[in-house]
Amino acid sequence: MKVIAFNGSPRKEWNTAILLNRALEGAVSRGAETRLIHLYDLDYKGCRSCFSCKLKGGKSYGRCAVKDDLTPVLEQVEGADALVMGSPIYIGGVTGQMKSFIERLTFPYLVYDLNRSTLFKKKIKTGFIYTMGANEARIREVGYDQPAKVNGMVLARIFGASESLLVTDTYQFDDYSRYETSGLDPEAKAKRRAEVFPLDCQKAFEMGVRLAERG
């Protein structure tokens, strides 16, 4: 069992990365082999709309023709049994690095037919962890949960199954006094970090367990 995680945050030791590592710990507890890839370490762009992946009889049919740092990563996906992605919400969506990754990951497998087919050769589980500074009320007001709905639909179509974890009202800085945050309550943020974030970490761990369980 191989589980690969993709960190779409530029921060390697903060909320998103912590949660992804907890998910991988859950997978390891079920005997999985795991790897965490930091997308911001890689040099790549999103889909170029060349449609080589859709060209009948073409040498790149069903796979991305672009050659860059993402090429070997996409090859590793072919051998994975489960994928887990994580991204903070920036301006209502996942980070640019994660968005470009999702385009390159999923579009080559998508078939324009009536059966909504996929060219991915097997069914695997996928998970997605979203982190955001907004609280639950703000999410409902603005619709910050929309990326989870859209990405979940796409991942389920391509790979077979997907689940999401939304982690809200996250702790953003070590020292709120150094930044313009007059609209926030640092004490409430710290309290939530101490009391709620550990529960979110446990949910991420449990997601990792489910991803690594066969069947």
Tens of pLDDT, residues 43-82: 999 999 999 999 998 899 999 999 999 999 999 999 999 9
Between 105 and 190, the more confident residue is: 105
pLDDT recorded at residue 99:
97
Q: To the nearest 5 percent, what fractions of the chain are helix, strand and coil?
A: 45, 20, 40
Contact status, residue 69 vs residue 44, Cβ threshold 8 Å: yes
Percent of the chain's residues with pLDDT above 70: 100
Q: Which domains does the chain have, with CATH numbers?
A: 2-212 (3.40.50.360)
Q: Is 175 exposed, middle or buried (0-12, 13-18, 19+ CB in 10 A)?
A: exposed
Nearest Cα residue to 38 out of 70, 62, 60: 70
Tens of pLDDT, residues 7-26: 999 999 999 999 999 999 99
- Number of Cβ within 10 Å of residue 177's Cβ equals 7
Q: Which parts of 86-196 fold into alpha helices (H)?
A: 96-106, 136-142, 146-159, 186-195
